[in-house]
Structures are given as structure tokens and as C-alpha cells.
């Protein structure tokens, strides 16, 4: 009897130990991920800021919209499980998922959708992408699980637009505090933010869909490229969705611990030109600049060869893309001739303001050296992002700048005459109006092609290259996005392979 008891106790102890050991080995790294990011978001509310870093933390992880954009760039249902579109393409009826709860326990209902969309399109809205909501005429809840959105005109990209980070659904009660403590419906809950260091998210156990495989996800902010290399090498960081220093990729490629994945982004890197200023007003000057840019040298020098040359403001992997690189080939003689015809045979002086990323700072030095060859002397002024947003983007106090426009399908910005390019073309604006009213894909692509040709012909900006996504991660990490069709680090399907 007592021996039996002893045996049972021993077995129990062994079992318990075994379980504990098992549990702790699962805990050790396999259910958590450290993801590196270069820029720290200014806050965590995607409905109140243009910074890409906000979406890179919260999109699909913490916040969800009616629809979502998946890793291929396709529109998928999210909080709306299905939808129907009326004959005249003006009324969208969304059926919402049942039993969805916000992280604070509040339940998700049609009222939240009405609140979120009304808030985003209100006059006093601080949403960075108000244009997405412009076609909306009214949002009404038919019952707790049905929302009807009426548009003022057919909008071909409406479902895509509703999948943006700026269109996520928030709860009225918690909306005010989302900047520091975001509360959404996503598979991860926000747990803490140590400013300047890291943002921690934990799995949302009550998630409506397939639960996340990671128990915790930590986003570490590492602004310095050299520190990023060391952190990856030391294993402090498991993955960098977009590695800041392309020159170090070869080093990771030769290391068996890592996988280097070069994907595409929506980032058109352009030499933005102030079309209302001095010599840049003249088409011939802008054409001369287009002919003086050696795209290959810029891509090789600034990005170590990672990047695809573009001849217009459009992503090369998009089916509607038109290859216009050869319309303005690298030709210094022609550039000089055009400059002389414009009335500047000896060139002129200008200013180029460069924001911090390497594509801009390095690219800017190369561009300045290339334009010097045709007589355009550029003074290089490095600026921080805040200064760039204020001086260049808001006040248009610049001649040239380099920036990557990372929003998807953003050719529409050329129709905004108060945008910082100061490009005012009724022809282009007409094209965009036509596009908005067109729903058929073929017809849309044709208009998009015309739009691409027009801005290329007008040489609005110097079109340089499409930013590549340099993903570097531990070989065992699975499920990270290869491309980035939207600004996001979707961690919902990420797991560790054994």
C-alpha cells in the first residue's frame, strides 16, 4: 500500500516536472517575437496621423477595419464578413461579424462603424487621409449587424480604401485614448510602450477569428543601422521587416542563421520638385533634370542595387503599371540642350532638402553630383522629419527634395493642386475624376495608364526608383510578409518553425 503510494507520488512529481520543463521550453523564445523597426511611431492612433510607423505597429495586429488588405494586396473581409453593392454602385451594405469584442470588453456593433466613419470624415477630423472618406454621403446602421454606406458617386477603390489603417474601427469610449493606449478588435492586445525602446503586444485570447500563434510580440525601436546589424547578429532581434542598411544585406545572406527576403513596397522614391518655384516652373528645366538622372547609379549608390527603376509615379508590380523609363533616358547632352533652351545655358543654383532615411541622404548626394554635371548647383540641406513635414510638405519652402511615397495607389495626389508638388493640371484632375467614377477594372487600368503617361510627360517630379523591402529574419520565423502592399507588419500568422 505504502509502496503503491510512493510510486504514485513519484510518478506525479515526474509528470509535474515534465510538464513544467515542457512548458518552459515552449516559453523560451518560441512563442514570442522581437521585431525591429527604425522609426518610433509618434503615437499609436492610425486614425489621427500620417506616420507610416503607426500602421507598421497597429495595422491588422491591434486594429481592424471593415475590410483588410492581405499580403498580396487583395481586399479581404475583416470586421465585415460580407457585403453587397447596389446596381448603381453607390450603396454598400456590410454584414458585420457577430460576437466581436474590443480589447476592453466592449462589444463591437454597427454603432461603432457609424461612429468611426463619421468621425473620420467630420469637418474637425484629424484623419491624415480624409480623401478616402470623401465620397461617403451617409453611414447608417440598419440593425446591430448591418451597416449601409451610401456614396455620392461610384468609387471603384472604396473597398480597398476601407482596408487602410486610417479607416480602422474604433470604440467611441476608448477612441480618445488610442494614442497612448490603443484599444481595437485585433488578434493582439496592446500591453505596454516604453518610449524610445519598445512596444509590447500580447495575444488577444478572445479574438473572433483564428488566434495569433505568437503569445507576445515586441517591437523594438532601433534607429541606428549599425546597431541594427549588431542586434540581429546577437539575436536580440528576430526579424527586421525592412532592414535600414541595404549595404549589410550581403553579410546576412552569407550567414546560415538568417533569411534575406527582397520584396516590393508601394514606395515610389522620387525627386519631388516644387513646380511653382523659379526655374522649376519651366517644363524644359524639369525635362533636363529627368534626362540628367542616372537611375542605375542612384539605385546602386544609395540602395546597393536593391530597387526597381520607375519612369512615373506607379508601382511596377501593379498590373496597371506602364513602363515609361525610356521616355526620359539618361542623356547629358540632351539635358544640357534643354536647359539652354529654357534660358539657363550656364545652369543655376538651387536647394535640395533631404529627410533622414539613407535613400534620401545618400540619394541626394548622388543626385546633386549628377545635376552638377549639367550646371545645376544644389546646396544640400539635411532636415529632420518634423522639419521636413513643416517646411517642405506644409509650407512648400523647397526647390527639390527626395522622399518615398509609401502609400498604395497614391497617383491621386497629383490631382491635389495644393499638394507640395504644386502641380496644377486640369487634364490630370479630369482623369482622376473619370477614374473615381469608373468601376470596371479594364477601364480603370486604361485611365491609370493615361495618368502615368501624363505626369511622366510633364516631368512633374524626377521619378527614380521603387523602394525594395529588405526583410531580414531568423530562418525559423515563418509567416512574415515578403512584400508590403500596405504599411504594415502583420504578425497574425507568424510562428516559429522547429
Partner 1 sequence: MFRKLAEVFGHGLKNRSFVIGGIISLLFFLVAFLSYFWTPYPVEDINIAERLLKPSTKYLLGTDHFGRDILSMLIKGARNSVIVAFVAIGIGLGCGVPLGLTAAAKKGWVNELIMRFNDFTFAFPSLISAIMITAILGPGSINSIIAIGIFNIPVFARVARGAALSIWKREFILAARSAGKGQFKISVEHILPNISSMLIVQATIQFALGILAEAGLSYLGLGTQPPMPSWGKMLNEAHTFMHFAPQLAIYPGAAIALTVMGLNLFGDGLRDVLDPKLRRSR
Name 352's bridge partners.
380, 400
Exactly one of 7, 177, 372, 394 binds partner 1 (CB under 8 A); which one?
Answer: 372
Taking the C-alpha atoms of residue 160 and residue 239, their distance in angstroms, rounded to an integer, is: 28
Distance, CA of 411 to CA of 58 (rounded, Å)? 25
Q: Give, as one character, the DSSP assignment of residue 311.
A: S
Judge residue 459's burial from the number of C-beta atoms within 10 Å of its C-beta, 0-12 exposed, 13-18 middle, 19 or more buried: buried
CB of 459 to partner 1, least distance (A): 23
* Cβ neighbours of residue 381 closer than 8 Å, sequence gap 6 or more: 351, 352, 353, 354
Told to check if 27 binds partner 1 by CB under 8 A, we report no
Task: Give the Cα separation of 55 and 427 in Å (integer).
Answer: 33
Of 364 and 412, CB closest to partner 1 = 364
State the helix-helix crossing angle for 332-341 and 283-292, rounded to 10 degrees: 170
Spell out the long-range contacts of 4-9 with Cβ–Cβ below 8 A and sequence spacing 24 or more.
none
- 20 is a site residue for partner 1 (CB under 8 A): no
Q: How far is the CB of 23 from partner 1 (least distance, A)?
A: 38
Which of residues 380, 390, 395, 475 is near partner 1 by CB under 8 A? 380
Q: Choose which of 66, 217, 292, 366 interacts with partner 1 (CB under 8 A).
A: 366
- Give how far Cα 336 sits from Cα of 281, 292, 341, Å: 17, 8, 9
Contact range with partner 1 by CB under 8 A, out of 83-91, 162-170, 223-231, 410-418: 223-231
86 vs 369, which CB is nearer to partner 1?
Answer: 369
Tracing cell 477601364 back to the chain, one arrives at 443
Map the footprint of partner 1 across residues 287-326, applying CB under 8 A.
296-297, 300-301
154 or 301: CB nearest partner 1: 301
* Distance from C-alpha of 48 to C-alpha of 43, rounded to nearest angstrom: 9
Told to check if 77 binds partner 1 by CB under 8 A, we report no
Minimal distance in Å, beta carbon 82 to partner 1? Answer: 49
Q: Is 381 in the site for partner 1 (CB under 8 A)?
A: yes
Q: Which of 33, 229, 270, 335 forms a contact with partner 1 (CB under 8 A)?
A: 229
Total chain residues near partner 1 (CB under 8 A) = 23
Smallest separation, CB 167 to partner 1 (Å): 37
For CA atoms 59, 60, 64, 68, give the dihedral sign.
positive
CB of 7 or CB of 349, closer to partner 1 = 349
**By the rule CB under 8 A, 369 interacts with partner 1:** yes
Build a one-symbol-per-residue string for 243-282: x at contacts with partner 1 by CB under 8 A, - elsewhere.
--x-xx-xx-------------------------------
Cα angle, residue 363 at apex, residues 361 and 365 outer, rounded to 5°:
70
**390 binds partner 1 per the rule CB under 8 A:** no
Q: How far is the CB of 385 from partner 1 (least distance, A)?
A: 14
Q: What angle do CA 388, 390, 392 make, to 5 degrees?
A: 55
Q: How far apart are alpha carbons 105 and 107 in whole angstroms?
A: 6
Residues making contact with partner 1 (CB under 8 A): 225-226, 229, 245, 247-248, 250-251, 296-297, 300-301, 362, 365-366, 368-370, 372, 379-382
Amino acid at each position: 500500500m505504502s509502496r503503491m503510494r510512493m510510486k504514485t507520488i513519484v510518478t506525479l512529481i515526474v509528470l509535474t516536472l515534465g510538464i513544467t520543463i515542457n512548458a518552459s521550453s515552449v516559453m523560451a523564445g518560441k512563442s514570442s517575437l522581437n521585431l525591429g523597426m527604425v522609426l518610433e511611431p509618434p503615437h499609436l492612433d492610425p486614425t489621427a496621423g500620417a506616420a507610416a510607423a503607426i500602421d507598421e505597429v497597429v495595422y491588422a495586429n491591434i486594429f481592424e477595419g471593415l475590410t483588410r488588405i492581405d499580403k498580396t494586396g487583395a481586399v479581404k473581409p475583416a470586421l465585415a464578413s460580407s457585403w453587397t453593392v447596389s446596381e448603381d454602385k453607390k450603396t454598400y451594405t456590410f454584414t458585420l461579424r457577430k460576437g466581436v469584442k474590443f480589447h476592453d470588453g466592449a462589444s463591437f456593433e454597427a454603432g461603432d462603424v457609424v461612429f468611426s466613419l463619421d468621425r473620420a470624415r467630420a469637418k474637425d477630423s484629424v484623419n491624415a487621409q480624409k480623401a478616402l472618406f470623401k465620397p461617403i454621403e451617409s453611414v447608417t446602421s440598419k440593425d446591430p449587424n448591418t451597416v449601409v454606406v451610401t456614396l455620392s458617386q461610384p468609387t471603384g477603390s472604396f473597398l480597398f480604401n476601407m482596408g487602410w489603417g486610417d479607416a480602422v474601427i474604433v470604440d467611441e469610449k476608448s477612441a480618445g485614448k488610442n494614442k497612448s493606449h490603443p484599444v481595437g478588435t485585433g488578434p493582439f492586445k496592446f500591453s505596454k510602450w516604453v518610449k524610445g525602446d519598445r512596444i509590447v503586444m500580447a495575444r488577444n485570447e478572445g479574438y473572433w477569428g483564428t488566434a495569433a500563434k505568437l503569445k507576445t510580440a515586441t517591437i523594438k525601436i532601433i534607429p541606428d543601422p549599425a546597431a541594427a546589424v549588431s542586434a540581429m547578429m546577437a539575436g536580440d532581434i528576430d526579424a527586421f521587416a525592412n532592414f535600414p542598411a541595404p549595404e549589410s544585406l550581403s553579410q546576412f545572406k552569407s550567414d546560415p542563421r538568417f533569411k534575406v527576403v527582397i520584396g516590393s513596397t508601394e514606395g515610389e522614391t522620387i525627386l519631388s520638385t516644387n513646380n511653382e518655384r523659379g526655374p522649376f516652373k519651366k517644363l524644359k528645366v524639369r525635362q533636363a533634370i529627368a534626362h540628367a538622372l542616372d537611375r542605375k547609379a542612384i539605385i546602386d549608390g544609395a540602395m546597393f542595387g536593391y530597387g526597381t527603376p520607375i519612369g512615373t509615379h506607379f508601382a511596377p508590380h501593379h498590373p496597371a503599371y506602364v513602363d515609361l523609363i525610356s521616355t526620359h533616358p539618361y542623356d547629358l547632352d540632351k539635358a544640357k540642350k534643354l536647359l539652354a533652351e529654357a534660358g539657363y545655358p550656364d545652369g543655376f543654383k538651387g536647394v535640395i532638402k533631404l529627410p533622414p532615411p539613407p535613400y534620401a541622404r545618400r540619394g541626394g548626394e548622388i543626385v546633386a553630383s549628377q545635376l552638377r554635371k549639367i550646371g545645376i548647383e544644389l546646396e544640400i540641406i539635411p532636415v529632420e522629419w518634423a522639419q521636413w513635414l513643416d517646411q517642405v510638405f506644409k509650407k512648400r519652402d523647397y526647390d527639390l527634395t527626395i522622399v518615398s511615397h509609401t502609400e498604395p495607389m497614391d497617383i491621386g495626389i497629383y490631382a491635389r493642386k495644393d499638394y507640395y508638388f504644386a502641380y496644377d493640371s486640369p487634364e490630370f484632375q479630369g482623369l482622376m475624376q473619370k477614374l473615381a467614377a469608373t468601376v470596371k477594372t479594364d477601364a480603370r487600368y486604361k485611365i491609370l495608364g493615361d495618368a502615368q503617361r501624363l505626369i511622366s510627360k510633364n516631368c512633374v517630379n524626377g521619378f527614380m526608383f521603387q523602394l525594395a523591402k529588405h526583410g531580414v529574419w531568423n530562418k525559423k520565423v515563418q509567416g512574415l510578409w515578403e512584400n508590403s502592399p500596405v504599411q504594415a507588419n502583420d504578425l497574425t500568422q507568424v510562428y516559429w518553425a522547429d
